Structure 1
Amino acid sequence: MEYFLQTKAWEDFQKSLGRHVHRQSGPGWSFLAIEEKNPAGKVLYAPYGPVAESVEAFDAALAALRGLARSCGAVFIRIEPVGLDPESGPGILRNRGLQPAPVNQQPELSWIVDLDRDFKEVLAEMKPVNRNLYRNIHKKGVTFRTTQDPDDIRVLLNFLHMTARRNGFKPQSDEYLTQVAQSLMPAGAATLFIADLHGGPVAAALAYDSADTRTYAHAAMDDTHRKLSAGIPLLVTLMADAREKGLKHVDLWGVAPADQPDHKWAGFTAFKKSFGGREIAYPGTWDLPVNRPRYAAYQMARSLRDGIKALIKRLTP
């Protein structure tokens, strides 16, 4: 799989935000790293990177990242290595001086639907209700279309606002998603899928494409038409379109661990798993201090802040 957050399209998007980015590669490894700011100072962050084919290749990538961090004055390096075994990976990372980041920036678990087969096989692995909706939703007047016009991102933004009000969550800002659309859609790296009912939109989903994988990034629907469940056939349409374009996988993004039924992502997880597929695990987000005194001060300040928050929560009626 080619991970979208390591692609040239994502690099160009980061540049459009005014960020400094670095790309390096060698035998069996590569990474896209982004300069970011946090309370510690400058951070060099490789989302779902470095990508390495072996432990030896990972060591070479880590050495390159360390040299790059020193040259640009980063306090620490934050990575999410791809290619290391999730079980042995933590030991490998600790032995090289890395430590788990305070939080995972990208999901540690994701859900993948493989498309390199007859689409009837993909449909057969879905729950019957998903297949039936995909095959029969047109009888209710619902149609589907795609667009790569950045102005159409307003359709998704409106639905995200509705969902945020209903569920009390904070979506990505309009400014951020608008910039995503302006950078990625004209380049063909992002597509907006829209479900229409009698000519008016009732659901939308934004997907990102790498060389072999489509990533299901953002989706929402019109509250007044929830009973239609248009988001289900819309996602199946997104998958069918990806297969027609020769992509091999659809990444439905983060899911909750199976042994945590009360996880905040439990509802999203059940929805994603209803389309068939398989789980993929990563070692998670790890930090490599470069300026150790400043990184230690950052960790101490964070622990103190978290302790105060926990105390206030316990004391609040």
Structure 2
Amino acid sequence: MEYFLQTPQWGQFQRSLGRTVHEESGPGWHFLAIEEKNPAGKVLYAPYGPVAESLQAFDAALAALSALARKCGAAFVRIEPVSAGFETAEADSLLRSRGLRPAPTSQQPELSWIVDLDQDFKDVLAAMKPVNRNLYRNIHKKDVTFRSSQDPQDIRILLNFLHMTARRSGFKPQSDEYLTQVARSLMPAGAATLFIAERHGGPIAAALVYDSADTRTYAHAALDDAHRKLSAGIPLVVTLMADAKERGLKFVDLWGVAPEDQPDHKWAGFTAFKKSFGGRGIAYPGTWDLPVNRLRYGAYQVARKAREKLRTLRS
């Protein structure tokens, strides 16, 4: 799988936000790293990276990241090696032996849900819950149609539905400014597409996806509260899967899900929704820090723990 957060298109979007982005590569490895700020000062962050074909290539990428961090004055490198030449089960010992430490929290999901498209689409449908298949095949009887758009202006449809969801559930979406810039940067480049469900000529649901060379990532979605009983969000997801299959993509990444042993997890509801489309779970090593300036990183850790202790005492 090619993870979208390590593509040139994501780098282009980050630069459009005014951020400094570094992209480097070598034999069997590459990375995209973004300069960020936190209490330690400057941090070099490689979301779902670096990408490496082998453990030897990963070590070379890590050395390049460390050198880059020193050059740009970063206190540490933050990585998420989801495709780095080793299995997740052995990640802990491998990463610790290279001086990495688990980050305080994971910045990207540690568990995701993948639907494989490298099969006949009828088999993809067969793996879904019957209600999903039936809605996809019969939703047209309720005058619901679907279309896709790469017009940045259409992002307003999704924003309106996200505002409805936020008012109803207290959910806090990405800001309008952020998603508007996503649309301006990625949709004209063909790297992002908005899928829209419509009834009687008006939109009732929308979903924004990102595409890499082989993977479509389900990023943001919401629907019109007035049409919730139609469950248009389900056939909308199947539609974007069918479109991905037609485009020759091999995977649909439905993004983060809750652990199976945590039924009360805050993501439990939409985890059940995502799993209803068939597919499989995939676990990642999580977010790790590699100190470059050990004095500054140590001070950052001490200050962070002090803040956590203070919050605990207050609560």
Find out whether 1:28 has 2:5 as its counterpart: no
- For 1:107-157, what per-residue CA distance to the aligned partner results, in whole angstroms no more than 9, with x for missing partners? 111110011111000000000000000000010110001110001100000
Amino acid at match of 1:34: I
The separation in 2 between residues aligned to 1:90 and 1:256, in whole angstroms, is 21
Deviation of 1:49 after TM superposition, in Å, equals: 0.2
Deviation of 1:27 after TM superposition, in Å, equals: 1.4
Amino acid at match of 1:72: C
Q: What is the SS of the residue equivalent to 2:141?
A: helix
Q: What is the SS of the residue equivalent to 2:88?
A: coil
Amino acid at match of 1:112: I
Q: What is the SS of the residue equivalent to 1:97?
A: coil
Deviation of 1:312 after TM superposition, in Å, equals: 2.1
- For 1:18-44, what per-residue CA distance to the aligned partner results, in whole angstroms no more than 9, with x for missing partners? 111111111111111111111111000
| Corresponding residue number in structure 1 for 2:94 | 92
The separation in 2 between residues aligned to 1:188 and 1:197, in whole angstroms, is 26
| Corresponding residue number in structure 2 for 1:222 | 224
Scaled by the length of structure 1, the TM-score of the pair is 0.97
Residue correspondence of structure 1 range 64-79 to structure 2 within 5 A: 64-79=64-79
Deviation of 1:306 after TM superposition, in Å, equals: 1.5
- For 1:257-284, what per-residue CA distance to the aligned partner results, in whole angstroms no more than 9, with x for missing partners? 1111111111111110000001111110
| Corresponding residue number in structure 2 for 1:181 | 183
| Corresponding residue number in structure 1 for 2:157 | 155
Find out whether 1:298 has 2:300 as its counterpart: yes
- For 1:160-208, what per-residue CA distance to the aligned partner results, in whole angstroms no more than 9, with x for missing partners? 0111111112110000000000000000000000000111111000000
| Corresponding residue number in structure 1 for 2:262 | 260
Deviation of 1:51 after TM superposition, in Å, equals: 0.7
The separation in 2 between residues aligned to 1:190 and 1:110, in whole angstroms, is 20
| Corresponding residue number in structure 2 for 1:274 | 276
Q: What is the SS of the residue equivalent to 1:233?
A: helix
Greater displacement, 262-271 / 179-188: 262-271
Which of structure 1's runs of 4+ aligned residues deviate more than 4 A? none
Length, aligned pairs only: 313
Q: What is the SS of the residue equivalent to 1:88?
A: helix
Amino acid at match of 2:33: A
Q: What is the SS of the residue equivalent to 2:119?
A: coil
| Corresponding residue number in structure 2 for 1:251 | 253
| Corresponding residue number in structure 2 for 1:10 | 10
Greater displacement, 203-212 / 78-87: 78-87
Scaled by the length of structure 2, the TM-score of the pair is 0.98
Aligned match for 1:195, one of 197, 207, 210: 197
Amino acid at match of 2:314: I
The separation in 2 between residues aligned to 1:244 and 1:15, in whole angstroms, is 31
Q: What is the SS of the residue equivalent to 1:87?
A: helix
Q: What is the SS of the residue equivalent to 1:59?
A: helix
| Corresponding residue number in structure 1 for 2:108 | 106
Deviation of 1:311 after TM superposition, in Å, equals: 2.2
Deviation of 1:310 after TM superposition, in Å, equals: 2.1
Q: What is the SS of the residue equivalent to 1:12?
A: helix
The separation in 2 between residues aligned to 1:169 and 1:140, in whole angstroms, is 29
> CA-atom RMSD, angstroms?
0.8
The separation in 2 between residues aligned to 1:55 and 1:137, in whole angstroms, is 48
The separation in 2 between residues aligned to 1:234 and 1:139, in whole angstroms, is 15
Structure 2: runs of 5+ lacking an equivalent: none
- For 1:189-243, what per-residue CA distance to the aligned partner results, in whole angstroms no more than 9, with x for missing partners? 0000000011111100000000000000000001111111000000000000000
| Corresponding residue number in structure 1 for 2:38 | 38
Residue correspondence of structure 1 range 124-135 to structure 2 within 5 A: 124-135=126-137
